[in-house]
Amino acid sequence: MLLSIKNMVCDRCISVVEQQLQHLDLVIEEISLGEAVVSPNPSEEKLREISAALKVLGFELIDKDKDKLVERIKNMIIELVHHSTQPEMHIVFSEVLGDRLNKDYGYLSRLFSESEDTTIEKFIIQQKIEKVKELIQYGELNLNEIAWQMGYSSSAHLSNQFKSVTGITPSEFKSLGTKDRKPLDKI
């Protein structure tokens, strides 16, 4: 049975969910961001037990198809922004999402906006800014390199977007040495 799970946003989340499901005597056949295929098929009572156990850890079972689709959109964006193996992010998110989900992007965009009270574009920007914060804190790349890696046309474009989201420039963020980063599941 496929379980759709909200707030699985990183490899650590996958590990925690996997351990919890195994603790509940389920066999995990496959697990990835937002999804776990388990056996045997859980009864309604077992599903309530799984839901309660996951909720304690900050996760949530999703049962509505539209909610599952929104969670898949979020997980794809997180995967592309935070876990991509591409050296740079010069992709068209609308095309990637539409192709991978085999749905019209306009439909995906409306559904996402209705469910999340924000647009896919704004969600992508917030995810990219959080990744930029991480890269700034690592200190291994300069702002031009970060801009290129994250798919911005220039460091000025990145700086403007960073400031509009955070209220400070990337340079100010770096000089403050702040750890003001948001968990991915809180964006």
pLDDT, tens digit (0-9, with 9 covering 90-100), for 76-92? 999 999 887 665 667 88
Residue with tokens 């700034």: 136
59 and 102 share a domain? no
Residue with tokens 């900050």: 58
Mutual angle of helices 65-82 and 105-116, in 10-degree steps: 100
Band of pLDDT at residue 69, cut at 50, 70 and 90: very high
Q: How far apart, in whole angstroms, are the C-alpha atoms of residue 110 and residue 51?
A: 28
Band of pLDDT at residue 105, cut at 50, 70 and 90: very high
80 and 20 share a domain? no
Number of domains in the chain: 2
- Residue-number span of the structural domain to which 32 is assigned: 2-63
Q: What is the mean pLDDT of residues 23-43?
A: 92
54 and 142 share a domain? no
79 and 122 share a domain? yes
87 and 175 share a domain? yes
Distance between first and last Cα of the chain:
29
The pLDDT mean for the chain works out to 90
Q: How far apart, in whole angstroms, are the C-alpha atoms of residue 137 and residue 134?
A: 5
What DSSP letter does each residue of 133-147 carry, written as one string?
Answer: HHHHHHTSS-HHHHH
- The answer, yes or no, to whether residue 123 has pLDDT greater than 70, is yes
| CATH code (residue 163) | 1.10.10.60
85 and 166 share a domain? yes
Q: What is the mean pLDDT of residues 56-65?
A: 90
Q: What is the mean pLDDT of residues 117-125?
A: 95
99 and 15 share a domain? no
**Between β-strands 27-32 and 60-62, what pairing exists: parallel, antiparallel or unpaired?**
unpaired
